[in-house]
Amino acid sequence: MKKLLPFLFFIVGGIFTAFAQDTIKFKPSGKPEALVFTNFNSSFSGDKNINRFEITRAYFGYGYNFSPFWSGRVVFDVANPGVGKFQLTALLKFGYLQFQKNNLTVKFGMIGTTQYDVQEKFWGYRYILKSFQDQYNMGPSADIGFSAAYKIGKLVSADLIIQNGEGYKTLDVDSVLKTGVGVTFTPVKSLLFRAYYDRMKKGTANQQTTALMAGYTNKLFKMGAEYNFQNDNNLVRGHDISGYSLYGTVFLNAATNVFAHYDYLTSENGQNQLQSWNYSKDGQLYMAGLEFSPVKGLKFAPNFQLWRPRDQSRSNTASVFMNAEIRF
């Protein structure tokens, strides 16, 4: 942490210098935002069939621009908290102050994490399926902390994040911090490479995440690939998890896309166990579908998903989904 202090002082100094030079006439303004993910799905596993309607996420927030460089944003996430008897609970997802000028962007507060932000945006179908690290609980999508990103010319950008590590659903319960660094390289407009590393140590557990990603885009299609590894998952010694993800989209026209996605998740044997610690949840995910956007703000995506568990004594799960995204 001490090694990062000079870098932080440099960033803060740059912000106040820019603030002092801000003489541009500006009219403060803001606007509300809303985003809803909903779906109907029918799943088959062995002789069991489950049909259900779901609202997996509903985001409601407000963004405000104080000046050309200073802005703030507050967003509440209404979803299943995953604990207790409540089915839908409102949680603070984002609540931060942002400074952005030229090639520098700084955020402080309840911020989006940088661990898989690039991968999620490139995948582009968050309302249907989370990106690999988010889907398999390798880190939270938001947390209390500080982040800074800087574009080094046209080809390279670097980012730093210091966060509590517990995520937006849990308040800070200890003095352990999680620090991450990432580098994004775009040698040409259509090609993207991303490398990320973070570390959080508590007691004998030393959780470290390594993520590598590559993506290619042109007018006809885009495709991406990523590899993810994390040792001591959730700060439990010996709980190592890894896997890779492949995904792509074919652009049929301005309103219609065809997409496919594949995940391979595996965990390592630890503590002399016969089976790996996450054996019952390891497996492979296959998905393919069609996205249609009739008007701006609405997306519909019929798709098919197949989960093949690593444990061959368990049945495959085949699901048919109709997902929808509503944004206004």
3-state secondary structure labels for all residues of 75-121: EEEEECCCCCCCCCEEEEEEEEEEEEECCEEEEEEEEECCCCHHHHH
For residues 167 and 145, the answer to whether their CB atoms sit within 8 Å is no
pLDDT the model gives residue 175: 79
pLDDT the model gives residue 14: 53
CB atoms near residue 168 (< 10 Å): 21
For residues 131 and 141, what is the distance between their CA atoms, to the nearest angstrom?
10
pLDDT the model gives residue 85: 59
pLDDT the model gives residue 172: 65
Q: Which residues pair with 289 in a beta bridge?
A: 259, 303
pLDDT the model gives residue 88: 75
Residues in the chain: 328
Listing DSSP states for 178-230 in one string gives: EEEEEEEE-SSTTEEEEEEEEEEEETTEEEEEEEEEEEEE-SSEEEEEEEEEE
For residues 107 and 91, what is the distance between their CA atoms, to the nearest angstrom?
20
pLDDT tens for the 328 residues of the chain, in order = 555 555 555 555 555 555 555 545 889 999 999 999 999 999 999 999 999 999 999 999 999 999 999 999 999 998 876 655 566 788 999 999 999 999 999 999 999 999 999 999 999 999 999 999 999 999 999 999 999 999 998 899 999 999 999 888 876 667 789 999 999 999 999 999 999 999 999 999 999 999 999 999 999 999 999 999 999 999 999 899 999 999 999 999 999 999 999 999 999 865 556 788 999 999 999 999 999 999 999 999 999 999 999 999 999 999 999 999 999 9
